[in-house]
Structure formats: C-alpha cells, structure tokens
Structure 1
Amino acid sequence: MDTEDLLEQGSRALDNGDYRAANGFLSKAVTLQPSAEAWHLLAEAQIGEGQLKQAYKSLSAGLALAEDDIDLLFSLGDLYLEENRNAEALTTYQKIIDLDPGEIDAWVSKAMAYVNVDDLEAAEQTCRQALEIAPDSAFALNALGDICVNLGRIDEALSCFQQAGEIDPEDPQPLLSLADLYYEREDLEQAEQYCLKGLKLDAGLPGGYLTLGYICLDQDRTQEAVDHFQQFLRLEQSPAAKQLREEVAAVIDGLK
C-alpha cells in the first residue's frame, strides 16, 4: 500500500470514528512520506484515541513542514484550549488571525481562552471584533451570549442566543445555551424544551444530557435524571471535564 492509499484509508477510518485503525494507517504514511497533511490527520487520530502527547508531537512535525498551515494551527490551538493551556492557545489563535483576519473561528476561540483566564473584558472585545467582521456569525453570537451570562447581563445573553439560533437553525448550541439560561432562571419547562430541541439536532452533545439530568432531578424524576447523567458520562471524555465527571458520578451514586 503506497502513501496515497494509506492517507485515503486513514481518512476514511477517521470519518468512521475508527481512530485506532486511522492511527495505524497514518503512522505508516508519515513514515513513508512525511507531509503536513499526513501529520495533521495522524494528530486527529491520536487525539481521538486520547494520545495527546503524541498529538502535540505530530502537530509540531507538521508545522515544521508548513509553519503557516492554518488547519494545523487550529488543531494545535484547540488542543491547547482543551487542556487549559490558555496562554499557548491565545498565541496560536493570534497567529491564525495574523495570517487571515477573516478566520472568525480563531477570534471566537481566542475569546474563549480569555474566558478561561477570567479576562471577560478582553473576551467580550474579541467577540465584538469577530462580529464586526462577520455580523451573522452564530458561533460568535453564541460565545458573546456566554460572556454576557458571566457578566450578569442576562437579557443581552438571551438576545445573543436567540439571534444565533435564528441565523443557524441547524446549530444545536444556541438551543442548549438557551436551555442553560432558562434552567438558571428556574423555568424548567422552557429549559427542557430547548434541551430536547438541541439534542434532536445532535444527540452526541454531552452538555445537553447534563442539563436534562438536573432538570429531571429538580422535578424528582430520579430515574430519568440518572439516565441522563449516565449518558453525559458516556459522551464527555474531555480531560478538562475530569472534575465535572467526578461530580456527576458522585450525584449518581447519591441517587442510587
């Protein structure tokens, strides 16, 4: 099997979520003929398998071949963000912005890194810069809504989430953000409706099941709450969510 075949097989395995097989094909591909594309795909497979140290090495190897490759930089920035290495994430997203100021996702991800270090002023400013470039970015509006929630500006947050949902009705995130907001307002009926709508669009989002679990818990629907919490634990595998997973597991134990 030549390099082209290995890349094709590895890409197909990635698309199917078979990270182990993808890792095997792509490891062979970078051995035969290293390229930025091959290293990037291998890093995706390694991230899927939870091999984060190896993924950093693969991304670094790819960037050594193509230092301005935006796809590689995004993967690196997202990995930094996932692991709460926020200073490195900020630097990486800024490099993407310097290369292409129109990369709205880089602006928004940079804002999220600022949120992680509790610099809400910088986070808001960065989101608003993104919206100046792309006023119809649902991603930026949803992020701005999250920032407004943290700043206690609930009505503005509600408006941001609603706008985001209108711009992209197929995006479940604004719906789940509205669910969280209504849950905080103790409007459990509205919160549950938005949760179910969001999960209908994407049943693989762990945050929706977490919110549903607490909604059911508050309504003494104990078994439903346990089921939703268990689904959250099945889906949420992020290293950054370790403490949250432990808290949810403790809640389940307390309900049994």
Structure 2
Amino acid sequence: MSIEDLLEKGLQAFDQGDFKAAEILYQQALEGEKTAEVWLLLAEAQIENGSYGKAHKSLSAGLLLEADNVDLLYSLGDLYLEEENYDLAVETYKKIIELDPQEADAWVCKAVAQMNNDNLSAAGKTCRHALEIDPGLAFGHNALGDIYVAQGKVEAGMNCFHQALKLDATDPQPYLSLAELYYDADDLKSAEEYCQKGLALDAGLAPGYLTLGYICLDQDRTQEAVDNFQQFLRLETSAAAKHIRDEVAAVIEGLK
C-alpha cells in the first residue's frame, strides 16, 4: 500500500472515530516517509486515544524536522492545555506569535491558557489584543466572554457571547455559555432555548446535558432531568471531571 493510500485510509479512520486504526496507519506511513505532516497526523490520533506521552514524542519528532511548523506548535500548545500545563502552553503559543505577530488565533489561545492559569488580567489584555488584530474573530469574542465571566463581569461576558454568535452562528459553545448564564439568572426559558440550540449543533457536548438536566430539574421534569444527567455521564469521562461526575451520580440516585 502506498503512503498516499495509508494516509487516506488513516484520515477516513480518524473521521469515523476509529483513532486506534488511524494511529496504526500513520505509523505505517512513517515507515516509508518521515515528514512533519505525518508526525502531526499521528500525534492527533494519539491525543484522541489518550496517549499523551506518545503524542509528545511525535510532536517533538515533527518539530525536529520543521521547528517553525505552526500546526505542530498549535497541537503542542493544545496538548499542554489538555494536560493543564498552562505555563508551557503559554510559551508554546508565544512561539507562534514570534513567528507571526498577526496570528490572532495564537493570541487567543495564549489568553485561554492565561485564563486557565488564573491570570485573568493578562488574559483579558491578550485577548483584546487578538481582537484588535481581527475584530471579526468569533473565537476571540467567545474567549473574552469566558474571561469576563471569570472576572464576575457577567453582562460584558454575555455581550461577547452574543457577538460571537453574530459572527459565527454555527459554533455551539457560545450558546451553551449563554445557557449557563441565563440559568444562573433564573431565566429558565432562555436557558433551555440556548442549550437546545447548542446541542443541536453538537450533540456530543457533555456540559450542555448537565445544564439541561438542572433546567429540567428546576421545573420538576424529573425524568427528563435524569435522562440528561445520564447522557452527561456517558459523554464526560475525563479524570478532571471526577468530582462533578460524582455529584451528578448522587443527584440521579436521589431522584430515583
């Protein structure tokens, strides 16, 4: 099988969610041709498989071939974010910015890492700079909304999420963020409306079912609440979410 065939089959397996098969196919492709592109594809499959250590090795191998490969650097930064290694994530996104100071997405990613590292003031400044570069960047408005909410500036956050949706109505995240804020404000009708819109765009977003479960619970729609909480538990499997999973499991048990 040619390298082109292996890569094509690997992409098909990846798109179908068979990340293990994709990983095997990309490894076979690397036996014939070691390129930064194939190392990146392999790393992405390994990340989806939860093999973070292997992914780091693949990304390092790719960066040895092309130290200024922006796609590899983005993947590495995102991996550090997933591992909650925010300092290294910031440093990785800074490398992208050094290569191209006008790369607005990298500024936003840096802001997200700073926010997760509880450096909210710096995160806000970084994100606003990204929007100076590209005012139409929906990703940037959504991230700035998260930063404002973390700072307790709820109205400013809501405005950012609405602006993100004006720019890109196909992104489910602002809908779910707004649903949470409307829920906190006891506007259950709006909360459910935005939650349903977000989940209609991506039915695999676990937080949406958590919010929807509480919306139903507050309206005494007990069975719907249980169904949504159970769907949340099916989708949310990360170790970082153990505490909230335990809480939701306890709520379900109390409703039975």
TM-score normalised per structure 2: 0.94
SS of residue in 1 equivalent to 2:21: helix
Structure 2 equivalent of residue 224 of structure 1: 224
Contact 1:82 1:239 in 2 (8 A): no
Which is bigger in relative contact order (C-alpha 8 A, separation at least 6)? 1
Alignment of 1:104-253 (within 5 A): 104-253=104-253
CA distance in 2, matches of 1:239, 1:52: 14
SS of residue in 2 equivalent to 1:244: helix
Alpha-carbon distance, 1:103 to partner: 2.4
Structure 1 equivalent of residue 2 of structure 2: 2
Alpha-carbon distance, 1:239 to partner: 4.2
Structure 2 equivalent of residue 98 of structure 1: 98
CA distance in 1, matches of 2:243, 2:59: 27
Alpha-carbon distance, 1:3 to partner: 2.1
CA distance in 2, matches of 1:49, 1:197: 29
Moved more, 246-255 or 46-55: 246-255
CA distance in 2, matches of 1:102, 1:206: 34
Alpha-carbon distance, 1:255 to partner: 2.9
| One-letter amino acid of the counterpart of residue 48, structure 2 | G
Alpha-carbon deviations, 1:148-207, whole Å to 9, x = none? 111111211111111111111122221111111111111111101110111112212212
Alpha-carbon distance, 1:111 to partner: 1.0
| One-letter amino acid of the counterpart of residue 46, structure 1 | Q
The 1:253–1:79 alpha-carbon spacing in structure 2 relative to 1, beyond 3 Å, is farther
Whether 1:33 and 2:33 are equivalent positions in the alignment is yes
Structure 2 equivalent of residue 68 of structure 1: 68
| One-letter amino acid of the counterpart of residue 184, structure 1 | D
The 1:244–1:59 alpha-carbon spacing in structure 2 relative to 1, beyond 3 Å, is farther
Moved more, 220-229 or 22-31: 220-229
| One-letter amino acid of the counterpart of residue 243, structure 1 | H
TM-score normalised per structure 1: 0.94
Alpha-carbon distance, 1:105 to partner: 2.1
Structure 1 equivalent of residue 81 of structure 2: 81
| One-letter amino acid of the counterpart of residue 26, structure 2 | L
CA distance in 1, matches of 2:27, 2:155: 50
CA distance in 1, matches of 2:2, 2:168: 41
Q: Percent identity?
A: 62
SS of residue in 2 equivalent to 1:247: helix
Aligned length: 256
The 1:16–1:67 alpha-carbon spacing in structure 2 relative to 1, beyond 3 Å, is same
Alpha-carbon distance, 1:21 to partner: 1.1
The 1:254–1:59 alpha-carbon spacing in structure 2 relative to 1, beyond 3 Å, is farther
CA distance in 2, matches of 1:201, 1:214: 20
The 1:237–1:73 alpha-carbon spacing in structure 2 relative to 1, beyond 3 Å, is farther
The 1:66–1:241 alpha-carbon spacing in structure 2 relative to 1, beyond 3 Å, is farther
Q: Any gaps of 5 or more consecutive residues in structure 2?
A: none
Alpha-carbon deviations, 1:128-159, whole Å to 9, x = none? 00110011111111111111111111211111
Alpha-carbon deviations, 1:192-251, whole Å to 9, x = none? 111011111221221211111111122222221121122122222444434333333333
Alpha-carbon distance, 1:12 to partner: 1.7
CA distance in 1, matches of 2:212, 2:231: 10
| One-letter amino acid of the counterpart of residue 175, structure 2 | L
CA distance in 2, matches of 1:106, 1:239: 27
